[in-house]
Amino acid sequence: MNPHHQTMPKQAKPKQSPSLTRLARIEGQLRGVRRMMEEGAGCGEIITQISAVREAVAMLGAEILKDEIVCRIDEKKDIDDTYLKNLLRMK
């Protein structure tokens, strides 16, 4: 390499949010489940992986819920029963 040759600095990738990182991991898990099914893996192994995906989705939901509530508090918006019921789709 030419010592006088200057290289352009690489641009840093924008940092992904934890929720997007978690979602990408879930997508990978689901692709893995599909591959297991296509390759004829045992039902027990598939169920174990599906349980892991369900837990990961639940954790993603909790993370997004936490972020929503923190945003509302930061914006000094009310968090009343009606809001929580609508947010959680409760009757």
Q: Is residue 31 in some structural domain?
A: yes
Please report whether residue 25 resides in a domain.
yes
In a domain, 56, yes or no: yes
Query: Structural domain tally of the chain?
Result: 1
| Residue 1 within a domain | no
From first to last of its 91 residues, the chain has per-residue pLDDT tens of 455 555 545 555 567 788 899 999 999 999 999 999 999 999 999 999 999 999 999 999 889 888 888 887 887 887 778 877 877 775 5
Query: Domain residues for 48?
Result: 18-88
CATH code of the domain covering residue 53: 1.20.58.1000
Chain centroid to CA 2: how far? 44
